Structure 1
Amino acid sequence: MSRARIRLATAAAAAALALGTLPASAYAAAAPGAGVSARPHWHQQQAETIRQITLQGAVNVRDLGGYRTWTGGQVHQGLVYRSDALSKLTDADLTTVSGLGLTKVLDFRIPVEVQYDGADRLPAPLTPTSRPVSDLGLYGTLVGAITSGDPVTQEQMLGGGRAEAYMRDIYRTFVSSPENRAQFAAALREIADGAQGPLLYHCTSGKDRTGWMSYVLLRALAVPDDAAARDYLASNTFRAAYDARVRAGLKQSGRMQNPDLLIPLQEVRQDYLDSATARMEADYGSFYGYLTEGLGLDLRTLAKLQNKMVR
């Protein structure tokens, strides 16, 4: 193997470790409920119940239904799912995913993530639809930090609050970038389409781009802000064991002396969500302004979204 190919393989492995894309065999040891048959699990989050779809090759797969709206309705189950990357699904996982009846899968990952992590593995005849949302160079930053193997460089890149600041910047671009807004708007239009069957969307870890998309969708369905925020923050619960395993692996391999530098990048935080909503209010005045002006959704589309998704 040439030196260039060796460097590429090393970078891919490092990025996969940091972003939560270990081989399926590693997922089997890290995923909640590993070693038992895949089936929905219910997790109580204060007043709301979150329905997790337990898989071996992904750890943050959930049905977005079940939430109560402030208008007295309830979001339908079985119509929209959110998840982390699906490139490492096992054969048993494919059977479980097939049972969800999905008709479309939207992939928010950028091309370099798909190149390194692999395309989605889906039951036939499903193929993923690419809806790339910028990570503001996060993937490349992680590759550079981890593959350097230098504790000083890693501290300089990620320590001293720099990782947290990076995440806040990423969340602001979910709102400020016209390209990102276009992808989120397209996803919402597809969900609102009455002819569209059950749909799943995801990014790499299923927490940031997917988290923002889910927060916006729930708010658009009149789910109270605190419940939508709890759904966003629940990624920390579902990813905790796996992310801890990733950090332990990096330390054991010698790639990082202080893998806790990655925690701000692995977690979701209210502060990150607040960065996006603050930018939303600064640019558009309100959540409604963001939906109509920022995302370009008309009243007919918003009504279709409600009619389809809320009972």
Structure 2
Amino acid sequence: MTTRTLSRPLRVFTSVAAVSAIALAPAVAGQAGIASAAPNDTGSSTTDAPGVATPSVIHLAGTENTRTFASYTTTSGKHISPAVIRSDNLSKLTASDLRKLKSLKVTSIVDLRTQIEYTVQPDKAVPGATRKSYDILGQTPITNLVDLSSAYRAYITAPSARAGFRKTLLDIKNTTSKGNSVLFHCSAGKDRTGWTAALVLSILGVDRGTIERDYLASNTYRHASPNDPLNGVRIEWLRTSFNTAKAKYGSLDGYLRKGLGLTTNDLNTLRANLLS
């Protein structure tokens, strides 16, 4: 296996066994209107992968994949608030980065990583922000950390993963209800973070093509190839989650309501807080 020298940290896995597995793995891998809106579940899962997205980037010296959804609009033409931020790990934030996040009114940091990941690369504390840890994959088979297709299925099927995504979406709802911003992240800001971003955009009513472009933009910001599973993403992984949600719950809306236990009020409040 060729060693790749990076200026950024690689994903951290939950055990020596997981790291060893990499060497064996193949290199693959209007309020009335708001109230009645349903999560966007349109779009073909068999079309060619979409092109490059144009997300709203937050330039931080200590991260490389930090952005908001403010440049996107919904299918009904509504604009999205910049109050929700997706990122990679925050272990290398500079003093200037911390000031910037504080100025953006970030009061909640949601860490989707496993315990060993945040122990090895602990987040820098953002002044005025509370960090929450919602481990998505720590209670699933350890191979999910190197077998990305299985991981994206586990986002739908694993109780611990569903609990983490539920808490994250509720934290976004509660934080933005107070007029503040929330940042969610994992290690690379591409897989667990990528699915969370897809859920937020789907709930808000963004078209599937834009959601897929936002997901694939991690390849651009991480300077990675889709064939590099440690640093890049492949569109079939994201589609695996969407397809698994549809197969298990009938639709993405079914996954949100039955799988994550979100209520109509939860979904409507997210839209009310984040759309204009």
Q: Aligned to 2:230, what secondary structure does the other structure show? A: helix
Match of 2:156 among 175, 189, 206: 175
What is the rounded CA distance, in whole Å, between the counterparts of 1:287 and 1:85 in structure 2? Answer: 28
Whether the 8 Å contact between 1:65 and 1:76 is mirrored in structure 2 is: yes
Aligned twin of 1:98: 102
Match of 1:89 among 86, 93, 102: 93
Whether the 8 Å contact between 1:106 and 1:130 is mirrored in structure 2 is: yes
Shift of 1:66: 2.8
Aligned twin of 2:209: 226
Whether the 8 Å contact between 2:73 and 2:206 is mirrored in structure 1 is: yes
1:209 maps to amino acid:
R
Whether the 8 Å contact between 1:185 and 1:296 is mirrored in structure 2 is: yes
Whether the 8 Å contact between 1:103 and 1:196 is mirrored in structure 2 is: no
Aligned residue runs from structure 1 range 198-209, under 5 A: 198-209=181-192
Q: Aligned to 1:231, what secondary structure does the other structure show? A: helix
**1:128 and 2:137 are equivalent in the alignment:** no
Could you report, residue by residue, the CA deviation over 1:260-306 in whole angstroms, capped at 9, with x for unpaired residues? 9x812321111111111111111001111111111111111111111
Structure 2: segments with no counterpart, 5+ residues: 1-5, 13-49
**1:115 and 2:96 are equivalent in the alignment:** no
Aligned twin of 1:307: 272
**1:289 and 2:270 are equivalent in the alignment:** no
Q: Aligned to 1:56, what secondary structure does the other structure show? A: coil
Flag the structure with higher helix content: 1
What is the rounded CA distance, in whole Å, between the counterparts of 2:156 and 2:179 in structure 1? Answer: 26
Whether the 8 Å contact between 2:84 and 2:182 is mirrored in structure 1 is: yes
What is the rounded CA distance, in whole Å, between the counterparts of 1:233 and 1:63 in structure 2? Answer: 14
Which fold has the larger relative contact order, with Cα–Cα distance below 8 Å and residues 6 or more apart in sequence? 2
Whether the 8 Å contact between 1:167 and 1:265 is mirrored in structure 2 is: no
What is the rounded CA distance, in whole Å, between the counterparts of 2:89 and 2:237 in structure 1? Answer: 21
What is the rounded CA distance, in whole Å, between the counterparts of 1:233 and 1:105 in structure 2? Answer: 23
What is the rounded CA distance, in whole Å, between the counterparts of 2:193 and 2:250 in structure 1? Answer: 23
Superposition CA RMSD, Å: 2.6
Mean Cα displacement is larger for which, 211-220 or 266-275?
266-275
Shift of 1:222: 0.4
Q: Aligned to 1:223, what secondary structure does the other structure show? A: coil
Whether the 8 Å contact between 1:83 and 1:210 is mirrored in structure 2 is: yes
Q: Aligned to 1:18, what secondary structure does the other structure show? A: coil
Q: Structure 1 pair 177/48, CA: closer, same or farther in 2 (3 Å)?
A: same
- Percent same amino acid among aligned pairs? 33
**1:70 and 2:75 are equivalent in the alignment:** yes
Whether the 8 Å contact between 1:108 and 1:131 is mirrored in structure 2 is: yes
Q: Aligned to 2:212, what secondary structure does the other structure show? A: helix
Aligned twin of 1:57: 62
What is the rounded CA distance, in whole Å, between the counterparts of 1:197 and 1:51 in structure 2? Answer: 18
Q: Structure 1 pair 68/59, CA: closer, same or farther in 2 (3 Å)?
A: same
Q: Structure 1 pair 123/47, CA: closer, same or farther in 2 (3 Å)?
A: closer
1:121 maps to amino acid:
K
Whether the 8 Å contact between 2:10 and 2:188 is mirrored in structure 1 is: no
1:296 maps to amino acid:
G
What is the rounded CA distance, in whole Å, between the counterparts of 1:228 and 1:73 in structure 2? Answer: 15
Aligned residue runs from structure 1 range 7-22, under 5 A: 17-19=9-11
Q: Aligned to 2:119, what secondary structure does the other structure show? A: helix
Q: Structure 1 pair 272/280, CA: closer, same or farther in 2 (3 Å)?
A: same
What is the rounded CA distance, in whole Å, between the counterparts of 1:283 and 1:102 in structure 2? Answer: 35
Aligned twin of 1:272: 237
Shift of 1:122: 2.6
Could you report, residue by residue, the CA deviation over 1:47-78 in whole angstroms, capped at 9, with x for unpaired residues? 9631111112110000122311112211122x
TM-score by length of 1: 0.68
Shift of 1:106: 0.5
Shift of 1:138: 5.6
Aligned twin of 1:42: none
Whether the 8 Å contact between 2:52 and 2:216 is mirrored in structure 1 is: no
Shift of 1:189: 1.5
Shift of 1:17: 4.6
